[in-house]
Amino acid sequence: MTLFVRLFLLQPILFSSGIRVQDSSHDTDLYQQDGPIQDDKSYLKNISPAPSLPPNPHTLPNPFKLPPHDDDLPYPFTKHSQQPRLPTRKARIRLPPFVDQLPPGPFIDPERSGNVTALVGRLATLNCRVNQIGNRTVSWLRDRDTHLLTVGRYTYTSDQRFRAQHNTGSEDWPLTIEYAQVRDSGVYECQVSSTPPIRHYIWLNVVEPQTQIVGDHDIYINRESSINLTCIVDYTPEPPAYVIWKHNGKVVSYDSERGGVSVVTDKGPTTSSNLIVRGASIRDSGVYSCSPSTAPTAGVTVHILNGEILSSLYLVLRVAFLPIRAIIIFVHSSYRFFWL
């Protein structure tokens, strides 16, 4: 009780002497040396603001609400016309932010990644066109032994004939084989490093130049008829410079005394040469060969017959001293016996 009285009596002295009294909660001077603070709210400037509450979603403006029209009818109808009208500058629909969708994954164009036929000793190019590849890579594998050939622009085989050719920004990823050989024929795999991997198979056919004479190996012609032979030259690097016809190893002469001999040659990717010998005789029998400059030689044997039958010739012999008769049939210059 005595202490309380003392403090009550000393209170005026404390105020008049300018003793600083601090608030322990905010550490703010309530009194200065000259006397009490005139503005009772000035102490709030040193107090940190209270954490703000999240905004009320019901009080936020609606971004999809259109500005009001002059008419009371709901947008987009008007009082004079019930047909909808397009939004004007004053009434423009505010759509939510557009979200870009990821493009579809990479895919291979089969029309630009087809099978290939190449010539022996020439450059073979296998193309693989990949659309929307992004940051993925293309690899080439040989199917018969699953041997990895290339990855991107790098080669992973000791056979230096294989190379990966790709230009920056191009959708084509070709595989080239220099000096292609017949053993290089087979299936090759183009693989894209997506998840899962995309695979496309291409067949490579390496061919050699071919020469053939249309028809069977043995040709039968009636006497006084025309010999008509056609030679086809295919799979050559370029059309042959010439095609030589030979008869029994000798070059056929077009301006000989015999006459009636002509040759017509049509050059192109597939070269054809046609030999015509009119009025065939026995001396025209023999082996005829076609020799292109860039392809192997092909030949046939021509038989000149004396009879009228073209398809086959039958000869029946009756042997009186044999109990069994034999029929000998000539088929392709060979004899077959049928015992009756």
Report in angstroms the alpha-carbon separations of 218 from 284, 299, 331, 334, 336: 14, 10, 10, 11, 17
Q: What is the pLDDT of residue 258?
A: 80
Hey, is 89 helix, strand or coil?
A: coil
User: Do the beta carbons of residue 243 and residue 255 sit within 8 Å?
Assistant: no
Least confident among 36-50, 147-161, 198-212, 232-246 = 36-50
Cβ atoms of 111 and 164 closer than 8 Å: no
pLDDT for residue 32 is more than 90:
no
Domain locations along the chain: 107-207, 210-305, 312-340
Between the alpha carbon of residue 212 and those of residues 182, 292, 328, the distances in Å are 20, 11, 32
Of 63-77, 83-97, 240-254, the range with the highest mean pLDDT is 240-254
| Domain at 210-305: CATH architecture | Sandwich (2.60)
Give domain 107-207's CATH number out of 2.60.40.10, 3.40.50.1100, 2.20.28.120, 3.40.50.300: 2.60.40.10
Q: 118: pLDDT confidence band, cut at 50, 70 and 90?
A: very high
Distance CA 340, CA 336 (A): 13
Residue that wins the pLDDT comparison between 338 and 251: 251
> Is the pTM of the predicted complex or chain greater than 0.75?
no
Instruction: Look at residue 3 and give its three-state secondary structure.
Output: helix
Tell me if domain 107-207 and domain 210-305 are identical in fold: yes
The whole-number pLDDT of residue 21 equals 41
pLDDT computed for residue 47 by the predictor: 54
| Confidence label for 8 from pLDDT (cuts 50, 70 and 90) | low
Q: What is the pLDDT of residue 328?
A: 40
User: Residue 124 — pLDDT band, cuts 50, 70, 90?
Assistant: very high
Q: Provide the Cα torsion 146, 149, 153, 154; round to 10°.
A: 110
pLDDT above 70 (res 282) = yes
